[in-house]
A and B are shown apart, each in its own frame.
Chain A
Amino acid sequence: MHVPLDLLDDLDLFRRGFFGTVLLTAVSAALSLALGALVAACRVCPVPPVRLVGTVWTALLRNTPVTLLFLVAVFAAARIVGVGHFALAVGALGCHTSAFVGEALCRGVGSVPLGQAEAARSLGMTSWQALRLVVLPQVGRAAVAPIGGLLAALTRNSAIAGAFGVTELFAQQRRLSAIGHDVLGVFVWIAVAYLLLAFVISESFRLLERRLAVAG
């Protein structure tokens, strides 16, 4: 395929886009993991109304498009002055992904056999010890693979932020196409960057999974 070399003149735009995507994804991932843990905690809480909050949060955010969340964030920002595009994007992406992270963690809780908790209790562990030493490590192990997939999806969703004023790869694709570069050439460059990110994420999660795996 013909890769037009004149794009090299605008390498700086491209570079800023790439690091924009990396930063946006990393910060939103941190937010979504924290919120997702909270959502999962709500959904397994023995207090029914709290469980309801977790369920409703999940059902709403799983079934709304990210683009709509971005519009809501922009609308909300018109009232809260001083919140930048980047923070809005992090909010929208983080909230959206948190519903899926919560779901993955709940499935992880569901995958731990009841006997594990019973064994911990019969060894005389307090409920906090059983949670910290027996249950949560297994939840984490079960949730690593799905969360890796979710972070890959988050990287892809982060492209939408480019349409709402954040400097990242999609924004630069639009900019580079608009200033007259070959559309296909720009697409190939941007695609290579996203492929690289997807590869890094999937490989690091595969590594993590292997590190956490136990014999048998």
Chain B
Amino acid sequence: MNAGVLFDAPGPKARRRIRIHAVAATAALLTLVGFTVLRLSAKGSAWELFSSPELQQRLADGVLATLKAFALAGVGSLALGALLAAGRLSRCRAVRWAATGVVAFFRALPPLVLVFALYAGALPPLWSLVLGLALHHGCAQAELLRAGIDAVPRGQTEAGYAVGMRGYRVLATVLVPQALRTVLPTVVSQLVVTLKDTSLGYLIGYPELLHVGRLAAANTVASGGHPYAALLTATGALYVALCLALSALARWIERLGARGRG
């Protein structure tokens, strides 16, 4: 963080104060962590349940189901986003208005409302989830892609026309490659949101990670209670790991692209 704006460079007194506060805060944190670990290990058997191969298999199935829904919804949203972004940049006014209307409509709706309407309209859970998420996040992606294309300097388009390219040729070979580089981080954070939103499948009975975790907790009895705390922690950790992995993948791709440009 740019802390220079907020604080002057610390002098000897301030440095001593920071050190004292750091020691106090570390002590407080360690106490808190220690207390939590103690409380959780007091009910030790709740954690032993993760050594059961059956539960591991169930959680792995849940992760796979989440990834399947995410892959379909992610690809769908990117394809729809590209299509709608092209529509919004079209030279035909009717196409532009239609694309703008669709984007504004589906972006403002909660994905859950969409997913539920599809589900209540008798679509199977997986496809309600995938279609609903692809529609909502596709419109969000369209907005990001369009902003990226708008941000490419105007001279690029003019240069394209000047060498005799046509509208869509300019878009495909000049604007999109440049825009993709700048929008990649935001597109990936939208994909992370898509990944998190697959958990809406829990509410319509699609057996994704959250559903599996919740069900496993309800079906298991460990040390006289259901191990909700343990399983929710584990599912949460898996979601965090998946999202961080996706972000890391994006950073890796970004680095590859930067090297290619060398």
A residues 32-82 near B (Cβ < 8 Å) are 43-44, 46-50, 52-53, 59-60, 62-68, 71-72, 75
Interface status of B216 (Cβ within 8 A of chain A): no
Instruction: Give me the interface of A with B, judged by CB distance under 8 Å.
Output: 43-44, 46-50, 52-53, 59-60, 62-68, 71-72, 75, 106, 109-110, 112-114, 116-117, 121, 127, 131, 135, 152, 155-160, 162-163, 169-170, 173-174, 177, 183-184, 186-187, 190-191, 194-195, 197-199
B117 interfacial by beta-carbon distance below 8 Å: yes
Are B199 and A135 within 8 A (Cβ)? Answer: no
Contact partners of B257 in chain A: CB under 8 A = none
Contact segment of B21-29, B52-60, B83-91, B171-179: B21-29
How distant is B2 from chain A, measured CB to nearest CB, in Å? Answer: 4
Contacts of B244 in A (CB 8 A): 59, 63
**Interface pairs (26), CB distance under 8 Å:** A47-B25, A48-B22, A53-B29, A59-B244, A63-B196, A63-B240, A65-B196, A65-B239, A66-B199, A71-B210, A75-B229, A113-B5, A135-B5, A155-B110, A156-B110, A159-B110, A160-B112, A183-B121, A184-B117, A191-B105, A194-B108, A194-B110, A194-B113, A197-B108, A198-B107, A199-B108
B 186-206 binary contact with A (CB < 8 Å = 1; else 0): 000000100011111011000
Interface size class, chain B = 35 or more
Q: Is the interface of B mostly helix, strand, loop or mixed?
A: helix
Q: How many A-B residue pairs have CB under 8 A?
A: 142
Q: What residues on A are CB-neighbors of B240 within 8 Å? A: 59-60, 63-64
Q: Which residues of B contact A170 (CB under 8 A)?
A: 110, 112-113, 116
What's the nearest-Cβ distance from chain B to residue A190, in Å? 6
Q: Contact between A47 and B4 (Cβ–Cβ < 8 Å)?
A: no
Q: Which of B8, B22, B108, B120 contacts A183 (CB 8 A)?
A: B120
Q: Which residue of A lies closest to B7 (CB)?
A: A46
Q: Are A160 and B120 in contact (CB under 8 A)?
A: no
Q: Identify the interface centre among B7, B8, B110: most chain A CB within 10 Å of its CB.
A: B110
Using CB atoms and an 8 Å cutoff, list the residues of chain B in contact with chain A: 1-8, 10, 14, 18, 21-22, 25-26, 29, 104-105, 107-113, 116-117, 120-121, 192, 196-200, 202-203, 210, 214, 228-229, 232, 235-236, 239-240, 243-244
The residues of B that contact A131 with a CB separation of less than 8 Å are 6
B1 contact from A109, A177, A194, Cβ within 8 A: A109
List the 9 shortest-distance A-B pairs measured between CB atoms, nearest first: A198-B108, A65-B199, A159-B110, A63-B243, A156-B110, A49-B25, A187-B117, A65-B196, A67-B199
Our pick among B10, B112, B202, B232 for the contact of A159 (Cβ within 8 Å) is B112
Residues of A within 8 A of B21 (CB): 47, 50
Q: Which residues of A contact B199 (CB under 8 A)?
A: 65-68
Residue numbers in A under 8 Å from B210 (CB-CB): 65, 67-68, 71
Q: How far is the CB of A201 from chain B (nearest CB, A)?
A: 9
A64 touches B6 (CB 8 A): no
Select from chain A the residue with minimum beta-carbon distance to B204. Answer: A163
- Docked CA distance A64–B195 (Å): 10
